[in-house]
Structure 1
Amino acid sequence: MFEDTLELAENKLLLLYIFNKINFAISNNQITQIILENNFINYFTLQQYISELVSSNFLKYIEKDGKHRLIITDKGLKVLNLFKNRISNQKKYLIDEYLKNHLNNIKQEVTITADYTIEHKNNFIVNLKAVENDCILIDLKLNVGSNDQAKKLCAKWKKHSTEIYSKIIKAFID
């Protein structure tokens, strides 16, 4: 029983550690992906821990662009700083390495968005957006004639947003 309690505490601290290292709000799906890819906690237990950390005000949900994201609170940071030494060095190392290799992708998922909606039968509105440091760089809405075009625009934006943004800026400045 004592070991279960220690594991529970370490896993919750590990979650706080990850949120602190990332240092920006992320989705539940993103934290789930990080945890499952590293085989730290099973899905159902993870969701329970997140719920408990939110209830205890160590994590909080914020709404950003109509999407709910999680972020560590000041209270969560204080607890983490007090008990960080209870997280195994191996787990901290694994998380640090994972974030070193994946943080840019996680950031891009949060800051680059692309989606579309049906306006009328053959009329789709594509919304392409880039945000950096809570500042909107570009928020572009395009009207296209097919679902296929809308999907292609979204995919291309997600893959090449930086280059496309630069070309748009250059076209207006030159």
Structure 2
Amino acid sequence: MFNNEIDLAENKLLLLYTLRELKIPVSRKILTEIILQSSYLNYFILQQYISELEASGFVDNTKEDNQAKLAINKSGRKVLSYFENRISPETKKLIDDFIQKNIDKIKEEISVTADYTIENSSNYTVSLKATENKITLIDIKISVATQKQAKDLCNNWKNNSSQLYNNIINILTKDH
């Protein structure tokens, strides 16, 4: 039982370390991807740890652009400073390497959002948004007839937002 408590504490410290190293608030999804690809935690335990860190007051959960974002707070930084040496250098290196390799993708995911809501059985509203340094570059709402169209729009926006943004600007500023 004592080893389980040590593992639990080290895993929570790993989450705090990851949030500190990211230096930007991130969604639960992004944090989960980083941890699952860099350690041996299982998904459900990881979600429990995130919730416990929030409940303990070490991680803030804020809303940005209608999306929940997680960030380490002052209390979390203080705890991490006391116990960071309990995280193995190998694990830190895995996290650091993953962040370094994927920071541009992480930042892009943060600045590009795509979601849809069901209005009724034959109408879906798709919301596409891109922001940069907290400035909204584009915010589009489109009504489509099927869930497949809504999903396709969201996926295309997430995968090609820069190109689509440039195309929209070019079309709208083009003289006919």
Q: Same fold (TM over 0.5)?
A: yes
Q: Residue 108 of structure 1: CA displacement?
A: 2.7
Q: Give the unaligned 5+ runs of structure 1.
A: none
Give the match for residue 110 of structure 1: 110
Q: Is the 8 A contact 2:39 2:91 kept in 1?
A: no
Give the match for residue 11 of structure 1: 11
- What letter matches 1:154 in structure 2? C
Give the match for residue 22 of structure 2: 22
Equivalent residues, number = 174
Q: Does 1:43 align with 2:43?
A: yes
Give the match for residue 52 of structure 1: 52
Give the match for residue 166 of structure 2: 166
Q: Distance in 2 between matches of 1:13 and 1:114?
A: 31
Q: Which stretch of structure 1 is more off in the superposition, 89-98 or 115-124?
A: 115-124
SS in 1 for 2:25: coil
Q: Which stretch of structure 1 is more off in the superposition, 101-110 or 134-143?
A: 101-110
Give me the TM-score of the superposition, normalised by structure 1.
Answer: 0.83
Aligned residues with identical type, % of pairs: 45
Q: Distance in 1 between matches of 2:55 and 2:120?
A: 42
SS in 1 for 2:115: strand
Question: Within 5 Å, which residues of 2 pair with 1:56-75?
Answer: 56-75=56-75
1:124-150 CA-partner distances (Å, limit 9, x unpaired) = 332111122222211011233444433
Q: Give the unaligned 5+ runs of structure 2.
A: none
Q: Which stretch of structure 1 is more off in the superposition, 86-95 or 129-138?
A: 129-138
Q: Distance in 1 between matches of 2:6 and 2:121?
A: 57
Q: Distance in 2 between matches of 1:157 and 1:118?
A: 18
Q: Residue 172 of structure 1: CA displacement?
A: 4.2
CA 1:120–1:28: 2 relative to 1, 3 Å:
closer
Give the match for residue 80 of structure 2: 80
Q: Distance in 1 between matches of 2:16 and 2:149?
A: 41
CA 1:155–1:48: 2 relative to 1, 3 Å:
closer
Q: Residue 74 of structure 1: CA displacement?
A: 1.4
SS in 2 for 1:160: helix
Question: Within 5 Å, which residues of 2 pair with 1:113-128?
Answer: 113-119=113-119, 122-128=122-128
